[in-house]
Chain A
């Protein structure tokens, strides 16, 4: 990463924020991603306004109704509206994605930047990250999910632990470059303390890679929630999440295809939207960033 690009990038960001926003909005994939994500988020937030059907209300008489005017996405084995469930499921799935992105971003950034600044910490931290990374993310999540009990909260913690090592590595690499820049060096020479350097220089300048990284983690977390539901350790019913709707519907994949089709499409669109956003952010904020998550 060239120093001019990094240093210039943040100063630009500070002085002329709107041009960056305009450049983002001109970016094709960012625009599509933004629209996709916004539509899903608004649908999730406004679920009670869009449908007055309770997503957990069972109407056994109407089980397995195919999509029709009365049942937009059909009904499941309990006669619950798949449309209402997908709509409300967006809340849980997007929340898990957001929470994992924010948490792993915060923890990863802290570990990455601190290990870049305090070299003595570095060895230990990176060994720890290696140890965590030696567990495949999904295996770690299965174990932690079972240990912490069945709740969205434990799923968030498990997925966060799975994605922290990657975020920490990316952030550490960025921070190591920034650390050597002239003006950071100058600040150090003029007696700025380590903490000040971390807070004033390293963290703010790592924002771009962090933001990009978090967008991708968001997408992965949504996919992981679905995969874990499939194994049976996703968010517990009866509250719907996209993952557990697909998982519950998989035994009926041929006969009542609508149960697993619609939430599957929703998962794909959400992941697609976040990935597009991430691509756009990377192109505009940090065009030379090579390492994807």
Chain B
């Protein structure tokens, strides 16, 4: 925190005289390269940030991560939340020159249903209709009040691709979308180049870009993604002029920007939320009282100081711009550091010094550091904790599948707090290994079937209360992202994914 405050942070300023103009190649040092650019099976951030330059969906996230029409000009939901009618924008062209019609949309939905990793979001679909080339209708078997919120999700995006791709197997579709950039040279593990799509048809009904939606303008001739896993090397590339932009800059390295007037740091908030996850099916932490004792021992300031993350304290699992945001529910469970309460809960639980395994990984420093600090805090409050460090694959598999002998672990959730309760649903069950929690089940059913937003908000409050009260998850903080740019890069703004449309080079 302290180191971050010392650095000048903000949007990259535009010099008054200069006007946006086309041209230039922007070199961007990113942590790694994509495995596939097939949107339907792409879940990793490095893949998605490229994919969203090439592809677009019927609806996309806007600047505040709410849904907004993109390839559709209008979306209508029936009052029973079972029928959704999309009116398509006319004249939208794929990068191969073909015009997009409802046939392409239908084929895309069908391909998604067939092979997407995330196909379950269409499991309730009763049928799709294409009454005319510019109308597409989705009929659901069961009401889903948040169907459009699910459709806007940027992970495993339901992008629209030409109907010809329909029968291509997963990961083998040709990379043809309607977005402002097209795929150029791609050397796996080394670099990837995006070229400006000169035939891009922008949404002229919007005044300007709005999140992943709105009116996008591609100025850059080329964007070159260089894959540079070491943070030191990314910053060095920026410092030496080998790159114009660099992603994921550890806060400690931000000091290197201090004496470089030509380099600036962009702080991205909201980015991700860090939480401790407890294993509700294993050993001592199967007991809610023990989990609550762990939650009561957490001192967030100490953790943030030690990890040095760009962070903001926030008790909630959502952000203030969310319609469901209810900080008063989360507050009592947050940043308690209450040794007396820990003692009381441990006594009530009959805790006899059983070992609590804190598992973390060697790949993400912020996770490892937070667990190391938590370990000290738990020990200070009389809990017999021990740290175990494995690699990320093992750590992630253990959280996903409940394998391995662990009681507490930590991870960052990114899209869930941004996109809201429907996105959290799978995670609050899977990671803490929640089984047979009727209260949580009932609250989620209520959330999904209530057409009224106030009812949904009440349902979310029950969900959030249950998750935090049972200490399935213990909130740490909101983490920000740091990206670095040189002075040639103009009009870069903070958003969850770096976006290079409407960005230009001096």
Q: Which residues of A come within 8 Å of B, CB atoms?
A: 57-58, 60, 63, 77-79, 146, 149-150, 232-233, 236-238, 248, 250-256
Residues on the A chain within 8 Å of B390, using CB: 149-150
Contact B373 A78 (CB under 8 A): yes
* Cross-chain pairs A/B with CB under 8 angstroms, 8 sampled: A150-B389, A232-B363, A232-B391, A237-B372, A237-B387, A251-B250, A251-B365, A254-B253
Residues on the B chain within 8 Å of A57, using CB: 376
Closest to A149 in B: B390
A250 with B372: in contact, given A77-B306, A232-B363 (CB under 8 Å)?
no
B138 interface contact, C-beta 8 A = no
A-B contact count (CB 8 A): 64
Contact A251 B232 (CB under 8 A): yes
B190 interface contact, C-beta 8 A = no
Counting from the closest, the 3 A-B pairs by CB-CB distance are A232-B362, A236-B389, A60-B305
Q: Report B305-316 CB contacts with A as 1/0, cut-off 8 Å.
A: 111100000000
Contact A238 B232 (CB under 8 A): no
Closest to A60 in B: B305
A58 with B363: in contact, given A238-B387, A251-B252 (CB under 8 Å)?
no
- In this complex, which of A146, A149, A251 has the most chain B Cβ atoms within 10 angstroms of its Cβ? A251
Q: Which residues of B come within 8 Å of A, CB atoms?
A: 231-232, 250, 252-253, 255-256, 302, 305-308, 361-363, 365, 368-369, 372-373, 375-376, 387-391, 394
Contact B387 A251 (CB under 8 A): no
A255 with B252: in contact, given A233-B362, A236-B388 (CB under 8 Å)?
yes
CA distance A238 to B306 in the complex (A): 14
Contact B308 A77 (CB under 8 A): yes
CA distance A146 to B393 in the complex (A): 10
Contact A78 B372 (CB under 8 A): yes
Contact B368 A233 (CB under 8 A): no
Residues on the B chain within 8 Å of A252, using CB: 252
Residues on the A chain within 8 Å of B372, using CB: 58, 78, 237-238
B370 to chain A, nearest CB (A): 11
Closest to B363 in A: A232
Contact B389 A237 (CB under 8 A): yes
CA distance A236 to B395 in the complex (A): 14
Residues on the B chain within 8 Å of A233, using CB: 362, 391
Residues on the A chain within 8 Å of B368, using CB: 237
Contact A146 B376 (CB under 8 A): no
Contact B375 A238 (CB under 8 A): yes
B408 to chain A, nearest CB (A): 15
CA distance A100 to B43 in the complex (A): 42
A94 to chain B, nearest CB (A): 21
CA distance A254 to B107 in the complex (A): 53
CA distance A253 to B256 in the complex (A): 11
CA distance A255 to B256 in the complex (A): 8
Contact A250 B376 (CB under 8 A): no
